[in-house]
């Protein structure tokens, strides 16, 4: 390799057997695929349920599935059937990582425990992403994003003093998927250093509690507590996108310098001398009043006028964008976030690339999401199966 040659993707040569469905696991493994891993998605004969969400061009190829599973290959196996299990075992023998979000009881029934698989494959990373940790009494409860938002404290804080509410995206699935990505890549590094496989568990409930409590635990970080839980800045009813004369802005005035600049900008420099606003500690205790001041002041100018004035004062501000706005945003266009992709059965797609730049370059494009079982014969042939064995599973030989 010369200095001019492109650097291979970080996970090139890593094979991942992906026995996950819905959002959390598939998001983690899609990111691994975008980083260069060969991800083989193992589906039931009916396929991942997400295949059927949204209006696609062909059955089983819904738009959300296309977004969450690009870069992967698919094999459809009935793991309750001996030949299906044998096929999975053959794939595991070629793998670096096994990822699943099946509950512990289901893994026990299938014989897919960490003990069994690490005994058979001592360099394997065995990664589970269950709803609840296997050591606790909730271990076999079902979990989806809404359930975990409720259980983790997120729904309660979203509701403020009123009814609980959900964040209007699958934030638990995606946040825990990101943690799963980090845990799996860290385990791979550990295997490379020691030659010993690892069992990794990333439970949704515990992960989202840790995620949620970062700032919300507050005074109860100390024992005995120095104050209550909660963070007044995020719990203020006046923390919201602020109406301008012709739209809405997200504005954060945070540091001493930024508040001094804002008070000058609105013609209220005397506020900086008031004890309740003089330090970040005092401002945090009185933040609802300050946010109320923002809400009262911003309707006096247009969005563009405020963007110019706040930008000149070094105060972060951005207009509120919709999902449709993002697809036409000039900055995202300039950095090339959205990549066109020609899918062999679904036609032209537009998907975000992996938003990570390494040595000045982004990761190369990957294949589109697979049709159900599309690569079954291919991956089993790679695992050493002959045409007759492949045909026994009802798969067309290569």
The catalytic residue positions are: 173
Backbone phi and psi for residue 136, each to the nearest 5 degrees, phi listed first: -105, 170
Six-digit token pair at 393?
């599973």
Q: What is the CA radius of gyration of the chain?
A: 25
Degrees, nearest 5: CA angle 232-144-250: 35
| Burial category of 334 from C-beta neighbours within 10 Å (exposed 0-12, middle 13-18, buried 19 and up) | exposed
Residue 97 β-bridge partners: 16, 125
How far apart CA 191 and CA 186 sit, in angstroms, is 9
How far apart CA 330 and CA 386 sit, in angstroms, is 52
How far apart CA 214 and CA 194 sit, in angstroms, is 32
Six-digit token pair at 337?
């976030």
């Amino acid at each position: 390799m010369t200095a001019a040659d492109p650097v291979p993707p970080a996970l090139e040569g890593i094979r991942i057997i992906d026995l996950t469905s819905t959002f959390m696991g598939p998001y983690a493994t899609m990111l691994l695929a975008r980083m260069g891993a060969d991800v083989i998605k193992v589906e039931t004969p009916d396929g991942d349920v997400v295949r059927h969400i949204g209006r696609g061009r062909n059955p089983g190829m819904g738009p959300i599935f296309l977004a969450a599973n690009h870069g992967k290959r698919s094999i459809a196996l009935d793991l309750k059937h001996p030949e299906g299990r044998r096929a999975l075992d053959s794939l595991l023998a070629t793998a670096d990582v096994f990822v699943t979000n099946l509950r512990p009881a289901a893994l026990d029934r299938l014989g897919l425990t960490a003990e069994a698989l690490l005994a058979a494959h001592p360099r394997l990373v065995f990664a589970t992403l269950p709803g609840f940790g296997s050591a606790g009494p909730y271990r076999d409860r079902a979990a989806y994003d809404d359930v975990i938002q409720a259980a983790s404290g997120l729904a309660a804080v979203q509701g403020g003093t009123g009814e609980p509410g959900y964040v209007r995206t699958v934030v638990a699935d995606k946040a825990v998927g990101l943690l799963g990505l980090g845990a799996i890549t860290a385990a791979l590094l550990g295997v490379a250093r020691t030659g010993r496989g690892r069992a990794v568990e990333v439970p949704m409930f515990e992960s989202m509690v840790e995620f949620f409590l970062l700032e919300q635990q507050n005074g109860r970080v100390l024992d005995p507590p120095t104050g209550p839980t909660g963070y007044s800045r995020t719990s203020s009813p006046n923390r919201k996108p602020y109406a301008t004369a012709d739209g809405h802005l997200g504005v954060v005035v945070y540091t001493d310098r930024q508040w001094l600049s804002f008070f000058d900008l609105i013609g209220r420099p005397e506020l900086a001398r008031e004890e309740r606003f003089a330090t970040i500690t005092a401002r945090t205790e009185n933040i609802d009043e300050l946010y109320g001041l923002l809400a009262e002041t911003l309707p006096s100018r247009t969005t563009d006028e405020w963007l110019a004035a706040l930008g000149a004062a070094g105060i972060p501000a951005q207009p509120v964008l919709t999902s449709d706005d993002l697809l036409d945003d000039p900055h995202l266009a300039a950095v090339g976030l959205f990549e066109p992709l020609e899918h062999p059965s679904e036609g032209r797609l537009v998907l975000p690339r992996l938003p990570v730049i390494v040595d000045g370059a982004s990761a190369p494009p990957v294949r589109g999401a697979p049709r159900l079982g599309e690569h079954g014969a291919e991956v089993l042939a790679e695992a050493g199966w002959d045409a007759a064995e492949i045909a026994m599973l009802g798969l067309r030989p290569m």
